Amino acid sequence: MIGATGLVGSRLLSQLLADERFGKVIAFGRKTTGQSHPKLEEQVVDFDAPESWSSLVKGDVAFSALGTTRKQAGSLAGQKKVDYDYQLEFAKAARQNGVATYALVSAASANPKSRIFYARIKGELDHDVQQLGFERIRIMRPSLLGGGRQQARSGEKFSSVVLGAINALGIARKYREIPGEVVAKAMIQAALDPEKGTRIFTLDEVFGEAGRALP
């Protein structure tokens, strides 16, 4: 998995480590997660040098929960590296090494033809991952993510308050906030579905998939 220190990724990592259906979890990142567990193997890597780590991306399921903002990345080019380039390289490595299932956190607004930069690169990643030939692809498209982050995002806090007020009136329900742990639970449930092919989960479907998961 990649993105293990983020809002969804940290919840995903904890759930995978606690899940008896997974015997080993390999977390790739630019820094350690700070967790210690008999099932956890950490690979601290330079994402700009995939030739140094691509051969290590092996297993049954690859999870991608990586993501950033323009502010954190310092520029649009920096954001594209994290939200598109690094994730596509990880997906390519997984496919080349025979990983059968790929599970990805995308966004409700993902659209490769969008004029909005974030929505466009998310949509482009969704599209390009589907061209790699995995047996199974599971794409989660949640809206605003809820839950504490290691690095607070002021824009998301503001959006959360605004959407909360709007949703109280029954408006914009499809963009309501979703907890990171719910997205993580849905990813695991969807990834273990043996049906081949691609499934893209809307916000309501992410909630539904999480509801089908084990307690």
- The vertex-17 CA angle with 11 and 22, nearest 5°, equals 120
Cα–Cα distances (Å) from 76 to 62, 89, 147, in that order, read 26, 19, 25
Instruction: Kindly report, residue by residue over 135-147, the tens digit of the pLDDT.
Output: 999 999 998 898 6
Tell me the residue length of the chain. Answer: 215
Q: Distance between CA 61 and CA 134 in Å, rounded?
A: 10
Per the CATH hierarchy, to which homologous superfamily does domain 7-149+178-211 belong?
Answer: NAD(P)-binding Rossmann-like Domain (3.40.50.720)
Distance CA 133, CA 125 (A): 14
Q: What is the pLDDT of residues 155-200, one digit of tens each?
A: 444 444 444 444 444 545 566 899 999 999 999 999 999 999 999 9
